[in-house]
Structure 1
Amino acid sequence: MASTLEKEIRSKIDDVKVSTRTTATTTIYILGLDPTTKDDEIKRALVTETKLAATDINIIALRKGKYEDQTAIVEIPKSQAMALVKLKRIRIGWGECGIRERINVVRCFKCLEHGHKTRECTAQVDRSDECIKCGEKGHKSRGCQNRVRCVKCAVDGHRADQIKCPHFKKIVEELRRQRIELGGTNSRQGKKDHAP
């Protein structure tokens, strides 16, 4: 829409400088959707709640949950996303659905810990040759055929970078709490995010 408006202004007025700015977006999860809910129903509810245009709403995926419900992964402009996150719920169809922001947790590929990047790592141990999926050395998770084993908990059944891991879940919940308190500010760096 911005590029269309820019062209229209340029066609009507000579010698005017027009620039467009990309709006930062945030990805949210809409939880507990009825199994029959479709994309257009989600968009209608978001348009009603946020006053966004339907074109500003990008439904990335609708995923089935283990209890017959669905979760929608939706990308919308950041200011409306944060307002929805603060509301915590939205009515879609006959039900009230939970809303959560997707939290991207920074992970170091040297020590495999969370909260910092490889270039910031001060760990003495280099675990960069270990697989984050199974914890074994000599391969990466992409082609790993081994059982899933958490390198943090040292138990089978989940990875250290999945919400099933209690350590990872605690990090995500703390980041989510901080972001809500700070109104969408990146709490790790203390400045506004430019991307989800």
Structure 2
Amino acid sequence: MAFGVSFKYESEQLVEMIKKQNDCLKMLKSEKINIGWEKCRVQDGMGVSVCYKCTGFNHIATKCKDEEVCLKCLGNHKTMECTKEQINKCINCIRANKKFNPGLDVNHLTTNRQCPVYMKKLEHKRNRASY
């Protein structure tokens, strides 16, 4: 998925420009791509679904049976109703440490995409994908 392309190109023209101007293997690693005279951000487009109720992965709030978790303070209430200060802790790493004891660093926000639990879920999803 490319971001920041300001010109409109036909699909075939765009594909040819990308092939001609970029090394496909380096493209995702550098997260940049050349299209015409522009350098655009690029991502593989794969992500992990996040529950807005419990902040767990691979399910959605309407199907969630777990308790509500506040993203700010990790309390059992809606984030929008929270009056407490933001704490720098990840509920998913805390849960993983309790369940599996891998000794994960919990000192990051739950929404951090460098979270070890998120990265593990993403790696699992990528390994199961058939490109």
TM-score, normalised relative to structure 1: 0.33
- Larger fraction in helix: 2
TM-score, normalised relative to structure 2: 0.45
